[in-house]
A and B are shown apart, each in its own frame.
Chain A
Amino acid sequence: MSTYQEFIQQNEDRDGVRCSWNLWPSSRLEATRLVVPVSCLYTPLKERPDLPPVQYEPVLCSRANCKAVLNPLCQVDFRAKIWACNFCFQRNSFPPSYAGISEVNQPAELMPQFSTIEYIVQRGPPTPLIFLYVVDTCLEEEDLQALKESLQMSLSLLPPNALVGLITFGRMIQIHELSCEGIAKSYVFRGTKELTPKQIQEMLGLMKPATSGQQGKPLAPHDAAAASCIFLQPVQAVDMNLTDLLGELQRDPWPVPQGKRPLRSTGIALSIAIGLLEGTFPNTGARVMLFTGGPPTQGPGMVVGDELKPPIRSWHDIQKDNARHLKKATKYYEALANRAAVNGHSVDIYACALDQTGLLEMKCLSNLTGGHIVMGDSFNTSLFKQTFQRVFSKDYNGEFRMAFGGTLEVKTSRELKISGAIGPCVSLNTKGPCVSDNEMGVGGTCQWKICSLTPATTLAMYFEVVNQHNAPVPQGGRGAVQFVTQYQHSNTQRRIRVTTIARNWADAQSQIQHIESSFDQEASAVLMARLGVFRAESEEGPDVLRWLDRQLIRLFMFHLRRSPFLQVFNNSPDESSYYRHHFVRQDLTQSLIMIQPILYSYSFYGPPEPVLLDSSSILPDRILLMDTFFQLVIYHGETIAQWRKAGYQEMAEYENFKQLLQAPLDDAQEILQTRFPMPRYIDTEHGGSQARFLLSKVNPSQTHNNLYAWGQESGAPILTDDVSLQVFMDHLKKLAVSSSA
Chain B
Amino acid sequence: MRGPPTSGAPPVSGAQSYSQFGQGETQNGPPPMGAPPQRPPVSQTYTPGAVNLSGPQPPFSQQFGAPPVSMQQMTNQMASMQVGSTAPSPAGPGYGKYLCFCELICLLYIFSLPGAFGQVRGPQPGYTGPYPGQPNYGAPPAAPAPAPPATKRLDPDSVPSPIQVIEDDKANKGSEPFTTGVRGQAPPLVTTKFQVKDQGNASPRYIRCTAYNMPCNSDMAKQSQVPLAAVIKPLAPLPPDETPPYLVDHGESGPIRCNRCKAYMCPYMQFIEGGRRFQCGFCSCVTEVPPHYFQHLDHTGKRVDCYDRPELSMGSYEFMATVDYCKNNKIPQPPAFIFLIDVSYNAVKNGMVGIVCQELKTLLDYLPRENPDVESNIRVGFVTYNKVLHFYNVKASLAQPQMMVVSDVADMFVPLLDGFLVNVSESRVVIESLLDQIPEMFADTRETETVFGPVIQAGLEALKAADCAGKLFVFHSSLPIAEAPGKLKNREDKKLVGTDKEKSLFQPQVSFYNTLAKECVVQGCCVDLFLFPNQYVDVATLGVVPTSTGGSIYKYTYFQASSDQERFLNDLRRDVQKPMGFDAVMRVRTSTGIRATDFFGSFYMSNTTDVELAGLDCDKTVTVEFRHDDKLSEETGALMQCAVLYTSCSGQRRLRIHNMAVNCCSQLADLYRNCETDTVINFFAKYAYRSVLSSPIKNVRDSLVNQCAQILACYRKNCASPSSAGQLILPECMKLLPVYLNCVLKSDVLQPGADISLDDRAYLRQLVSTMDVSESHVFFYPRLLPLQKLDVESISVPVAVRDSEERLSRGGVYLLENGLNIFLWVGVNAQQELLQNIFGTPAFGQIDPNMTSLPALDNPFSKRLREIIESVRAQRSRYMKLMVVKQEDKLELIFKHFLVEDKSNNGGASYVDFLCHMHKEIRQLLS
Residues of A within 8 A of B (CB): 172, 174, 182-190, 193, 195, 199, 202-205, 248, 253-255
Contacts and interface: CB of A to CB of B under 8 A. Distances in A.
Interface string B395-413: 0001111111111100101
Given A183-B403, A195-B408, A205-B407, A188 B391 contact: yes
B400 A186 contact: no
B418 interface: yes
B400 A182 contact: yes
B407 A190 contact: no
B754 interface: no
Contact of A253 (B388, B399, B417, B440): B417
A174 B411 contact: no
B405 A185 contact: yes
30 contacts: A172-B413, A174-B415, A182-B437, A182-B440, A182-B441, A183-B392, A183-B403, A183-B441, A184-B400, A184-B401, A185-B390, A185-B404, A186-B403, A186-B405, A187-B404, A187-B407, A188-B405, A188-B406, A193-B408, A199-B408, A203-B388, A203-B407, A203-B408, A204-B407, A248-B398, A253-B416, A253-B418, A253-B419, A254-B417, A254-B418
B411 A190 contact: yes
B411 A193 contact: yes
Contacts of A205: 407
B400 A187 contact: no
Contacts of B441: 182-183
B437 A190 contact: no
A174 B404 contact: yes
B826 interface: no
Contacts of A188: 391, 404-406, 415-416
Rank and list the top 6 A-B pairs by shortest CB-CB distance, nearest first. A188-B415, A253-B418, A203-B407, A185-B403, A187-B405, A184-B402
A182 B438 CA distance: 11
A190 to B, nearest CB: 5
A190 B408 contact: yes
A183 B437 contact: yes
Given A183-B402, A184-B402, 6 more contacts: A183-B392, A184-B400, A187-B405, A188-B415, A188-B416, A202-B407
Nearest to A193: B411
Interface string B435-466: 00100110000000000000000000000000
Nearest to B438: A183
Given A182-B400, A182-B437, A187 B417 contact: no
Among B413, B434, B441, find the residue whose CB has the most chain A CB atoms closer than 10 A.
B413
A193 B434 CA distance: 30
A174 B406 CA distance: 9
Nearest to B412: A190
Contacts of B417: 253-255
A190 B434 contact: no
A185 B401 CA distance: 9
Contacts of A254: 417-418
Contacts of B398: 248
Contacts of A186: 402-405
Nearest to A216: B483
Contacts of A253: 416-419
A253 to B, nearest CB: 4
A195 B406 CA distance: 14
Contacts of A172: 413, 415-416
A184 to B, nearest CB: 5
Contacts of A203: 388, 407-408
A128 B808 CA distance: 80
A190 B411 CA distance: 9
B401 A183 contact: yes
A137 to B, nearest CB: 12
Contact of A183 (B388, B400, B407): B400
Interface in B369-425: 388, 390-392, 398-408, 411, 413, 415-419
Contacts of A202: 407
Contacts of A185: 390, 402-405
Contacts of B400: 182-184
Contacts of B390: 185
A248 B393 CA distance: 12
Nearest to B404: A188
**Residue among A202, A204, A248, A255 with most chain B CB within 10 A:** A248
A204 B399 CA distance: 26
A205 B391 CA distance: 17
Most-contacted residue by chain B among A183, A193, A203, A248 (CB, 10 A)? A183
A255 B411 CA distance: 22
Nearest to A215: B483
Contacts of A183: 392, 400-403, 434, 437, 441
A498 B408 CA distance: 48
B799 to A, nearest CB: 57
Contacts of A204: 407
A106 B29 CA distance: 123
Nearest to B416: A253
B413 A190 contact: yes
Of A190, A193, A195, the most chain B CB neighbours within 10 A belong to A190
Contacts of B440: 182
A403 B407 CA distance: 35
A328 B393 CA distance: 35
Nearest to B418: A253
Contacts of A182: 400, 437, 440-441
Contacts of A184: 400-403
Nearest to B446: A209
Pick the most buried of B390, B400, B407, B440: most chain A CB atoms within 10 A of its CB: B407
B411 A187 contact: no
B447 to A, nearest CB: 9
A202 B408 CA distance: 9
B401 A187 contact: no
Contacts of B403: 183-186
B423 to A, nearest CB: 16
Nearest to A199: B408
Contacts of A187: 404-407
B483 to A, nearest CB: 9
A254 to B, nearest CB: 6
A204 B405 CA distance: 9
Nearest to B387: A209
Nearest to A205: B407
Nearest to A253: B418
A248 B415 CA distance: 17
A255 B403 CA distance: 21
Contacts of B415: 172, 174, 188, 190
A180 to B, nearest CB: 8
A189 B402 contact: no
Nearest to B413: A190
Contacts of A248: 398-399, 402
Nearest to A202: B407
A172 B405 CA distance: 12
Contacts of B419: 253
B458 to A, nearest CB: 11
B315 to A, nearest CB: 46
Nearest to A245: B402
A188 B412 CA distance: 11
Nearest to A175: B405
A193 B411 CA distance: 9
Contacts of B413: 172, 190
Nearest to B407: A203
A203 B389 CA distance: 11
B357 to A, nearest CB: 13
A140 B440 CA distance: 37
A204 B403 CA distance: 14
A185 B415 CA distance: 12
Pick the most buried of B390, B399, B415, B418: most chain A CB atoms within 10 A of its CB. Answer: B415
A187 B405 CA distance: 4
A189 B404 contact: no
Contacts of B418: 253-254
A617 to B, nearest CB: 57
Contacts of A174: 404, 415
